[in-house]
A = this chain, B = another copy of it.
Amino acid sequence: MNATEVVIDNAHVPAAISALMTDYAHCIDNDRIEDWPALFTDPCLYKITTRDNHIRGFPACIMLCDSRGMLMDRVVSVRSTNVFEPHRYRHMVSCIQVVEAACDAWRLQSNYLVTRTMLDGTMAVFSTGEYQDRIVLTDGAYRFNERIVICDHGMINNLIALPL
């Protein structure tokens, strides 16, 4: 790897893009999940997979939505369909790296850590892994065209109700 080229071309994460990534986390963590689908383009790709499957190119994944309608469906299932013990997530997002930059489309990767807190106060690190994003500028706003969530491990404790 030539450190120079990475640093000079792709060092700068635009503020509007990190604001989008932050908004994503706050929508989920602060119980505004209804606002979450609008952060994506339509169509889009939202996929939760495991690192092992991702590396080997296996198509099986934990969750896959390819339209804003499917994302909205997730919201409905969280709010009214799924039966699960209430809980909340808290996202930490770090090490955001620009992989490819164009004037209207960006590829980024970042690390995430999500904790989960149950009603009784029990808290645990629920999932860690990597986001691989394609973010595009459309109608004056940045939105996720793709967000691939690559979990470090596939042993999900119980279920994924809320998106990661």
Report A's interface with B, CB cutoff 8 A. 1-4, 6-8, 10-13, 15-16, 18-23, 25-26, 29-30, 35, 38-39, 51, 88, 90-98, 109, 111, 113, 115, 117, 120-125, 128-130, 139-143, 152-155
Contacts and interface: CB of A to CB of B under 8 A. Distances in A.
Copies of this chain assembled into the complex: 3
Contacts of A125: 115, 123-125
A1 B109 CA distance: 25
B7 A95 contact: no
Nearest to A9: B19
Nearest to A24: B95
Given A117-B153, A152-B88, A95 B22 contact: yes
Contacts of A10: 19
Given A22-B96, A94-B91, A3 B143 contact: yes
Classify the secondary structure of A's interface with B.
mixed
A158 B55 CA distance: 27
A1 B34 CA distance: 9
Contacts of A94: 25, 91-94
Nearest to A3: B141
A25 B94 CA distance: 10
A109 B6 CA distance: 22
B153 A123 contact: yes
A154 B121 contact: yes
A18 B97 CA distance: 9
B142 A7 contact: yes
